[in-house]
Amino acid sequence: MKVKTTAIGGGRSVRLASVTTAVLLAGLLSGSGSAAEEGGASSTLDYDCALPDGTSRVTVEVTTALPASGTAGTPLEPGPVTVGVRLPRAELEALLPPGTEAVASTAALDVEIRQKGRSASAQWMNLSAPGTEVPAEDAADLVHTGPVPSVTLPAAGDTTFTAGRLTIGLRSAEDAAEGTPSAADTPLTCEPGAGQNTLLATVPVSDGDAPDPWPSQTPGDGGRSGDKDVSAGDGIAVEPRTAAADDDPCPVEPPTGTADWSDAPKPPAGADVLEADIPGGGTFGCAYAVGLANVYKLNGAMIVNDPTKKPGLISVLANVHRGQRAANAEGGYYLRLDSLGNLKLPDADSTFLTFGFQPVSAKVEFENGPLTISTGNIGMGTGKTYFATASFRQSLRLHDVEVNGTPLDVGPNCHTSKPFKVVLNGDFPKYVNVFGGGPMNGEVDIPPFSGCGTGGEDLDNLFTAAISGPGNLVAMNQGMTCVPSDESTFCPPTMPALPGRETPDD
């Protein structure tokens, strides 16, 4: 990427402009590194699903992001998995309440892992599709995404991943929008259609430091090597995505502050809306939220809360406040549920090559105020509309800047001159409520920078010229909320896909 700079003085000014712009790119346009080359694969399979009045054949597409290769003794991280299920409208109508306009669903896929006669079972569970519109005709595509367990192989050899039973939990997204942390899902159990190849992926594994505890089996030996039975997962370690009994699934403090619902959609003019705190002080939980933010002036984007590093958790008190107006009141029905959250994001850090291929690295600190997530609906019947809005104030600070390994002192207080408002909106049914999560998008206006530079060097104008201004798109994807007090929720919280990676590539 070329960065255009303008000299505002002598040669020193040109150098400072180049370095500062590169620092901005390094700190604010950081991308995630990849520990292993991804070997994404997609498989389209036929499944037979049990319905109340019989069996239906449905199409399932499973997309994996497995590494291209692995090493014995080292965990093999599959990456996010997507399970897309195409369900005809008639089948959905048989499983959901009459008049359902949108469906929220989860999926769990049984997977058999085999290598050299050994086998182990894994369950790719808690894959979520927060909301999908029910079409007037044809079929609905339920696209479930989420992380899955890692696998450690004891020896070298090709490792296969094969699809088995698929279980889908369905519920009305409209019901979920009323704010309950969970609902009684309608289960749909599906088995692979007979006679088809259900192989999802094959990953070659090379020798590690540890010797193979069991030699390769010969075909037809029933999964045995000598007197050792290895058919029940011996030697293949599947690391579950579940917390141990003594682990805290939400290792964050409950959020503090006051909910501010001023950015949520307002009701039509009419009678007053009754505002009230909900008894009990809200439901405590936590969730991951990852995303992308672009800098309009630089035509580049950064990863926020990078899922490949050490992402931070949103601490949530769900449904702490309610605004409501009765359907028979002037102006019509209005319901808004406000949740309070705190989001401590890790610093962004990266390396960027500036002019002359000079490496520049920097870190960016995000200072966030209390987060308010408001969800609800306006009107009744066919005129009902849903909304989801998240808002908070944020400041940015740059620090730990290095040019070719040499520190560049921008001072301890190089930051945006004032906090700026971040307002994100989710479209129903993609975002139903804080419990189900989903994608949200918005634009921010970044204010000028101040406090940048030491030793008489004032870099404020350069940072301001390079990044400040309107039109900076922010796209976040919130995962499902883990509520430790409710065993039916998804704990520990699962990592959502980055925006744009929720669905399989075309």
Give tens-digit pLDDT for 56-84. 899 999 988 788 888 988 888 877 788 99
Residue 450, pLDDT score = 95
What percentage of the chain exceeds 70 in pLDDT? Answer: 77
What is the pLDDT averaged over residues 143-171? Answer: 88
pLDDT of residue 104: 81
Q: Which of 420, 436, 424 minimizes the C-alpha distance to 372?
A: 424
Q: Give the separation between CA 75 and CA 151, rounded to whole angstroms.
A: 5
Q: Does residue 375 carry a pLDDT above 60?
A: yes
In a domain, residue 311? The reply is yes
Same domain, 254 and 194: no
In this predicted structure, the answer to whether residue 423 has a pLDDT above a threshold of 60 is yes
Confidence band for 298, pLDDT divided at 50, 70 and 90: low
Residue 422 has pLDDT above 60, yes or no: yes
In the chain, the number of structural domains is: 2
Which element (helix H / strand E) includes 307? none
Measured between alpha carbons, how far is 389 from 339 in angstroms, rounded to an integer?
10
Tell me the whole-structure pTM to 2 decimals: 0.65
> d(Cα 361, Cα 415) in Å, to the nearest integer?
17
**477 pLDDT tier (thresholds 50, 70, 90):** very high
* Containing structural domain, residue 370: 17-33+246-478
On whether both 21 and 51 belong to a single domain, the answer is no
Position 277 in a domain: yes
Q: What is the mean pLDDT of residues 212-226?
A: 35
pLDDT over 90 (residue 134): no
pLDDT tier, 372 (very low <50, low <70, confident <90, very high otherwise): very high
Average pLDDT over residues 36-61: 80
Both 174 and 272 in one domain: the answer is no
Position 205 confidence tier, pLDDT thresholds 50, 70, 90? very high
**Distance of alpha carbon 107 from alpha carbon 181, whole angstroms:** 18
Residue with tokens 């502050």: 257
* pLDDT band at residue 28 under the 50/70/90 scheme: very low
CATH number at residue 118: 2.60.40
Among 203-212, 234-243, 353-362, the minimum mean pLDDT is found in 353-362
DSSP H/E element including 493: none
Q: What is the token pair recorded at 77?
A: 């991280």
Closest by CA to 386, choosing from 336, 341, 442, 443, is: 336
Query: Do 235 and 300 sit in the same domain of this protein?
Result: no
pLDDT of residue 233: 41
Residue 134: both structure tokens together: 């029910």
Quick check: 27 and 50 in contact, CB under 8 A?
A: no
Contact of 431 with 173, CB cutoff 8 Å: no
Closest by CA to 281, choosing from 340, 355, 353, 211, is: 340
Nearest to 44 by CA among 85, 11, 6, 10: 85
Of the three residues 239, 260, 283, the one that is the final residue of a domain is: 239
Q: What is the mean pLDDT of the chain?
A: 78
Between 35-49, 138-152, 286-300, the lowest mean confidence (pLDDT) is in 35-49
pLDDT tens figures, 451-468:
988 888 888 887 788 778
Same domain, 387 and 466: yes
Mean pLDDT in residue range 383-393: 91
pLDDT over 70 at 48, yes or no:
yes
Looking at the structure, do residues 309 and 235 belong to the same domain, yes or no? no
pLDDT, residue 209, reads: 53
Do residues 391 and 256 share a domain? Answer: yes
Model pLDDT, residue 211: 44
**Is 285 within the bounds of a domain?**
yes
What is each CA distance from 325 to 261, 379, 380, 381, 434, in whole angstroms?
16, 10, 12, 15, 21
Range with the poorest average pLDDT among 239-253, 344-358, 432-446: 344-358
Instruction: Please give the C-alpha separations between residue 173 and each of 56, 142, 181, 354, 428, in angstroms, as whole numbers.
Output: 23, 12, 12, 48, 9
304 pLDDT higher than 50: yes
Backbone torsions φ then ψ of 207, nearest 5 degrees:
-65, 140
Tell me, what's the pLDDT at 274? 93
Radius of gyration from C-alpha coordinates of the chain: 26
**Tokens of residue 6, six digits:** 């303008």
Domain assignment present for residue 153? The answer is: yes
Mean pLDDT of 105-123: 89
Q: Give dist(CA 418, CA 172) in Å, integer.
A: 42
In a domain, 282, yes or no: yes
Q: Which residues of 67-96 are buried (b: 16+ CB within 10 A; e: fewer)?
A: beebbbbbebbbbbbbbbbbbbeebbeebb
Domain identity same for 377 and 252: yes
As a whole number, mean pLDDT of residues 492-497 equals 83
Residues 6+ apart with CB under 8 A from 475: 291, 292, 293, 439, 440, 441, 499, 500
Q: What is the pLDDT of residue 359?
A: 56
Contact criterion met (CB below 8 Å) for 116 and 217: yes
What pLDDT is stored for residue 31 in this prediction?
37
324 shares its domain with 444: yes
Q: What 3-state class would DSSP assign to 157?
A: strand
Confidence of residue 136 (pLDDT cuts 50, 70, 90): confident
CA atoms 423, 429, 431, 435: torsion sign = positive
49 lies in the same domain as 108: yes
- Please report whether residue 427 resides in a domain: yes
What would the 3-class secondary structure string for 247-262 be?
A: CCCCCCCCCCCCCCCC
446 neighbors 453 (Cβ within 8 angstroms): no
Q: Where are the beta strands (DSSP E) in 154-198?
A: 157-172, 186-192
Q: Which of residues 123 and 488 earns the better pLDDT score?
A: 123
The answer to whether the CB of 69 falls within 8 A of the CB of 206 is yes
377 has pLDDT over 70 = yes
More confident residue, 264 or 503: 264
- Does 175 share its domain with 290? no
Residue 490 lies in a domain: no
Please give the Cα distance from 486 to 316 (Å, whole number).
14
Higher pLDDT, 348 or 424: 424
**Over the stretch 103-113, which tens digit does the pLDDT of each residue have?**
888 889 999 99
Categorize the per-residue pLDDT at 2 as very low, low, confident or very high, splitting at 50, 70 and 90: very low
Length of the chain in terms of residues written: 506
Q: How far apart are CA 481 and CA 67, in angstroms?
A: 28
pLDDT in the model for residue 362: 67
**What percent of the chain shows pLDDT beyond 90?**
34
Task: Determine the 3-state secondary structure of 467 from DSSP.
Answer: helix
Which region among 54-63, 239-248, 308-317 has the lowest average model confidence (pLDDT)? 239-248
Count CB neighbours of 351 within 10 A: 12
Q: Are residues 295 and 169 in the same domain?
A: no
**How is 20-41 classified by DSSP, letter by letter?**
HHHHHHHHHS-----SS-B--E
pLDDT on residue 114? 93
Question: Is the pLDDT at 179 greater than 60, yes or no?
Answer: no
Kindly tell me if the per-residue pLDDT of 165 is higher than 60: yes
Asked if residue 235 is part of any domain, the answer here is yes
pLDDT tens readout for residues 244-254: 445 788 999 99
